[in-house]
Amino acid sequence: MERQVTLPFAPPARSTIEAYYPGANAELLEVVVDVVRGEAPRVLYVHGPAESGKSHLLQGAAVLARRNRRLSAYIPLGESGVAPGLFAQLN
């Protein structure tokens, strides 16, 4: 049995796509949902200013992916303890 990797951060609160208010980001929301459903490329780079809803949107995408039985993870790169070596341990 493989050793389980302990992640150095708490799981995020349950942010969902349904609770996300897109405002001017309606097109981004649509693209993220398409990615989760496998209807768009698998890699998506999301950037924007602080407090613009990126974390909520991506946490919601991870929740939606799990609901659709797709492998997903939300890894908050800004948290202390999250370093490149962490990713080497993931399969």
Cβ neighbours for 68, distance < 8 A, ≥ 6 positions apart: 36, 37
Q: Give per-residue pLDDT as tens, 30-48.
A: 999 999 988 887 778 888 8
Contact 64/57 with Cβ under 8 angstroms? no
Quick one: average pLDDT of 39-68? 87
Question: 77 vs 68, which has greater pLDDT?
Answer: 68
pTM of the model: 0.71
Q: How far apart are CA 29 and CA 32, in angstroms?
A: 5
